[in-house]
């Protein structure tokens, strides 16, 4: 069976569904402030793993998560903090790796 070897892009849509502002930071140090109710769409290369930290500014709360997907993906801030944002496909989707 043929396998696709051409890299392609997917969209990761992150929604801040909390009443507070959040800071979304990637592992290379880039960050974006996500206000309440705001969506941020990130363009990712399919199959690669991306590491992020989500920080709630007030009250302080933090979660680390990774994203690896082959298709467009959506996730909400409340799901990340609850550790439930993900997929049933092993090794794919959003994996919460730590919370504090």
- Candidates 12, 91, 21, 10; CA nearest to 54 is 21
Domains contained in the chain, CATH given? 9-87 (2.60.40)
d(CA 11, CA 78): 19
pLDDT, tens digit (0-9, with 9 covering 90-100), for 18-36 = 999 999 999 999 999 999 9
pLDDT of residue 3: 66
pTM: 0.84
Asked whether 20 and 56 are in contact (CB, 8 A), the reply is yes
Whole-number Å distance between alpha carbons of 96 and 98: 6
| CB of 94 closer than 8 Å to CB of 67 | yes
Question: How confident is the model at residue 9, as a pLDDT?
Answer: 95
The pair of structure tokens assigned to 72 is 């467009």
Of all residues in the chain, the percent with pLDDT exceeding 70 is 88
pLDDT at 13 over 60: yes
Q: How high is the pLDDT of residue 96?
A: 84
């Amino acid at each position: 069976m043929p396998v696709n070897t051409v890299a392609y892009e997917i969209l990761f849509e992150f929604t801040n569904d909390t009443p507070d502002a959040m800071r979304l930071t990637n592992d290379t140090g880039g960050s974006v402030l996500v206000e309440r109710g705001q969506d941020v769409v990130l363009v990712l290369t399919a199959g690669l793993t991306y590491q992020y930290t989500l920080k709630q500014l007030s009250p302080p709360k933090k979660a680390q998560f990774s994203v690896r997907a082959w298709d467009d993906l959506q996730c909400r801030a409340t799901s990340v903090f609850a550790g439930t944002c993900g997929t049933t496909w092993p090794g794919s989707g959003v994996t919460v790796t730590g919370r504090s």
